[in-house]
Amino acid sequence: MVLKKIHEEQNCYGSGNTGNGKTVVIDYSSPNMAKHLAVHHLRSALIGSALYNIYKTLGYRCIGINHLGDWGTQFGQLIVAYQKWGSEDTHTSYTVTDLNNLYVKFHQEAEKNTALEDEAREWFKKLEAGNSEAKELWQHFKDISLKEFQKIYDMLGIHFDAFVGESFYNTMVEDTVTRIKEKGLTRISEQALIVDLETYYVVGSEQKLHFRQIFKVLELMGYDWASHCVHVDFGLMKFKDGKMSTRKGKVVLLEDLLIEAVERIKEIIEAKNPSLERKENVAKEVGIGAVIFADLSAKRNKDVVFDWDEALNFEGETGPYVQYTHARLCSILRKYGRPVTADIHFELLNEDEAIILIKNLWRFPSVILKAAEFYEPSFISNYLIDVCSNLNRFYNAHRVLSDEEALTRARILLVDATRQVIKNGLNILGMQAPERM
């Protein structure tokens, strides 16, 4: 009986062993240094993190990599800007905003003085050559960026096993090019060394084509694992009004979006349940969870149209709705006030609403497998909506805490099993499961 299995396995229900002995490496987020994380960075981070959790649940050894954009001529530009317009007094208190302002200042001045571009190129050459001053400033810029990034990753509950920037591969480029040339895969085109893949691909979107080309080069070089490489593409995030920028014309910063979500949930809590315990924590869990769920409930290759009213609706197909259902089940269990047992008369759960719910709980492991097969976290978020709908239909039709002890124990087991599945699903998506709301 699935209810007994859920009761026994608890947090492990849904886990599998299909990945035992296998490793999956997932590259996600990958922002550029010295720039703020903005809303357009959200989807990669959330989808990658959810896939990491999905594969880990199935027994894979997962390695999450954040491939940072920490190399290129823009760092020469930043070094020049810092030396000319930066303040030594604020060296230790610099923020990404300060770095971004310096970057903007450089381009404004470079329009009037083109020699600045030459100076920037020279500084990047020094950085490539290992110049100590250039490396020290570059590391300083990187540390500032990572500190801000980590703050936002912590807000979202996103984990990485390694931060590996473009700079890490700097010393490997020459050897890699040599190996590609030795395979006879290159030719000169417009004074550049290229791998001609025209035979293999005719059309493709920019990102899809880029990765298909990389994977084909790896295949032509004879790497067996090339066939296992997958580009998990995804759509854009847009706001309901079509705008992705603030009144000042700047992009919407990811931190601002998350803070606003939390503040909006705080207002809802104050209006509906002002005496709630842990209000601050619950507001964070539900507000940030609402953003995560709004993203991951859409198919990844479709654009997400973010609407505050929809995302924060406690009665729609949203994160707050799923979290509230979980909290409601916890409340029922608190009222019951006794240990839940699997020693029940299962034949008592014979109502149509109960049977439909039980069958859906049984599906959870297969939904996780399907999500892994198609790299599609939305299968889990949509499944959770179905489970909550099934549960609420059951709850509205039948009293859980009845006068009949045997029936109450049976229904309590069903309630607890549903709570456990919802919690496990939310955790895979990277969300919290509040016990009170």
pLDDT digits over 259-287, tens only? Answer: 999 999 999 999 999 999 999 999 999 99
211 lies in some domain: no
What is the number of structural domains in the chain? 1
Asked if 191 contacts 198 with a C-beta cutoff of 8 angstroms, the reply is no
Mean of pLDDT values over 372-391: 98
Residue 202 has pLDDT above 60, yes or no: no
81 is a domain residue = yes
- Has residue 244 been placed in a domain? no
pTM beyond 0.85, yes or no: yes
Q: What is the pLDDT of residue 206?
A: 55
Domain membership of residue 127 (yes or no) is: yes
Q: For residues 221 and 23, is the Cβ–Cβ distance under 8 A? A: no
Does any domain span residue 374?
no
Contact partners, residue 88, CB within 8 Å, separation at least 6: none
Kindly state the percentage of the chain with pLDDT values over 70: 94
Q: What is the mean pLDDT of the chain?
A: 91
Residue 132, in any domain of the structure? yes
HSE-up (13 A, CA, CB side) for residue 201: 17
178 pLDDT higher than 90: no
Q: Report how far residue 251's alpha carbon sits from residue 247's, in angstroms, rounded to the nearest whole number.
A: 9
Mean pLDDT value across residues 415-437:
98
pLDDT at residue 33 greater than cutoff 60:
yes
Structure tokens at 231: 């580009």
- The verdict on residue 50 lying in a domain is no
d(CA 363, CA 370): 11
On whether residue 149 sits in a domain, the answer given is yes
Q: Are strands 23-27 and 61-66 parallel, antiparallel or unpaired?
A: parallel
Please give the residue range of the domain that contains residue 134: 73-156
